Structure 1
């Protein structure tokens, strides 16, 4: 395999680590880099971005960083070495990602971030994110209603390096903490993981058998928590998630999880590609770097209309 002149050893190693063949250098390539597709939210991002890129006439290079900042840096080296015209990125850490995006910018490749912000401005061309605070408040209001404004509850928090985890938690508490009869008896990070949420929920339930509700930073953790509760014959416990996944939709329609908050992953990714295309072809940047997309409450009333992180008309 012959390396192109611009391909770094780190980029070559990144390609080999993926276990995929390296396509020929592409004149019109968009790199799409997200966390693991094991999470349906990130898969929807990749699918949406890839579909829009191909529709606009680009080759798409879809890569996964597994929330590993070092791997992410290697994949950005790969995008640079392949001469990508733009990078669509759901990043691996608000602080750890800044240098990698700056590296792409220095190489003349613009980055369009989706879902997660970074702790810097002027490095990426765009940061298109869900209005996590607004969405969390929607979820918290529904949670309060479902709980009848009282009872012990648990919060499962996402990965601490992810800005969204803190924003969602604050949105939850800015609503829930106004109700003195709602008492949080446990708050633990399950790192966005279903398996970890299952394990954490088992332990929390043993220590706090009288809990009435669980509010989760994402749907994946909500699914893990609900599975642990079901295994303990505690389907009476109210569970609310955040993301709007098909799995939680199915749980809601079958009477399991009670609600979630839809963030438009597919549309967000497609918007990023459209803005990248405008930048590539017209040298036009969006009016604002940081762009917020409002979230929508999903419960028994509208869950049947939910499909792949979008509401059907």
Structure 2
């Protein structure tokens, strides 16, 4: 009898062990370091991450770098210490985040990037809007609104690869119109107050400026603040992201006339989906582009 009870006990322990392993397998942990939680875009991206993770029973540890490279690097290192199963990074600095990513590589933790690419370290897959195409859409829209003539400025953010792609696409479109000159390409740091400041400088230096491309909506709205302050309401602004404040400005017929629209929720969902395939041993591409579009007052009213 004692022997029988011992066998039963061993069997129960074995079952518990199998159950625990099965649970561990299903409940993988993914560390996430966002660029910021202050932008509507990243709130939507986070929602997409959570939605897809819940479907696959993954646990997410979500943090934000808040435009601080040191802070984001520390977050990645914490994920390594916690031995997460995968890491998602939306770099605050595409080159500067490289050392932290390399540490994750050395620890054998797969790293994925979303929205913003890393220029260093081994990345399993990068998921982002087709930002070159988005930049082209913005440039083409602005060029047509200016009838192929005029002076334009770019409110950029050169430390971010996705922004560099947008700027590249914009310049490619503008280059097709010899009557349009880019008179300024400045760093607005992707935030509204800084964008307003640099736009004010541009407006004072260029009394005949005709158009502005803001690489995200904080940049476009900051430019709008400056344009309204200087009462230069004839300037045409094109933004990027189609966040609710920008859409509201477009519908109110302000100088912000159009926005490239991204689908951040889809970026989040697609990133988790790529990780799921990776966990299952499937081959995934190094880059997964997500489509973009462009909206203006007419198209927004049609949608309503």
> TM-score of the superposition, structure 2-length normalised?
0.85
- Distance in 2 (alpha carbons) for counterparts of 1:305 and 1:150: 29
In the TM superposition, residue 120 of structure 1 has moved relative to its aligned partner by 4.5
Once superposed, what is the RMSD of the aligned Cα atoms? 2.1
Q: Report what 2:123 is aligned to.
A: 124
- 1:37-116 → structure 2 map (5 Å cutoff): 37-116=37-116
Task: Encode CA deviations 1:268-312: one digit per residue, 9 max, x unaligned.
Answer: 1111111212323x13241x1122222111222333588xxxxx9
Q: Distance in 2 between matches of 1:187 and 1:274?
A: 36
How far apart, in 2, do the equivalents of 1:166 and 1:223 lie? 19
Cα distance in 2, alignment partners of residues 53 and 192 from structure 1: 28
Give 1:213's match in structure 2, choosing from 201, 211, 214. 211
Question: Which residue number in structure 2 is paired with residue 20 of structure 1?
Answer: none
Task: State the match for 1:249 in structure 2.
Answer: 247
Quote the Cα distance in structure 2 between the aligned partners of 1:131 and 1:213: 23
Unaligned runs of 5+ in 2: 1-25
Alignment map for 1:221-232 (pairs within 5 Å): 221-232=219-230
What CA distance in whole angstroms lies between the structure 2 residues aligned with 1:140 and 1:85? 41
Instruction: Name the structure 2 match of 1:22.
Output: none
Aligned residue pair count: 278
Please say which of residues 136-145 and 238-247 is displaced more in the overlay.
Answer: 238-247
Counterpart for residue 151 of structure 1: 150
Deviations 1:111-133 (A, max 9, x none): 22111122247x12111122111
Higher helix fraction (1 or 2)? 2
Contact 2:213 2:220 in 1 (8 A): yes
Mapped contact 1:35–1:67 kept (Cα < 8 A): yes
> How many Å apart are 1:51 and its aligned residue?
2.6
Does the alignment pair 1:258 with 2:257? Answer: yes
1:243 Cα offset (Å): 1.9
What secondary structure sits across from 1:70 in the alignment? helix
Partners in 2 of 1:300 and 1:45 — Cα distance? 25
Instruction: Return 5+ residue gaps in structure 1 as ranges.
Output: 1-25, 307-311
Instruction: Tell me the residue number matched to 2:34.
Output: 34
Contact kept? 1:249, 1:304, Cα under 8 Å? no
The 8 Å contact of residues 97 and 120 in structure 2, kept in 1 or not, is answered as no
Q: Deviations over 1:231-277 (max 9, x none)?
A: 22222210001122222111111212111111221101111111212
Matched, 1:270 2:241: no
Q: Which residue of structure 2 lines up, in the alignment, with residue 6 of structure 1?
A: none
Q: Secondary structure at the match of 2:241?
A: coil
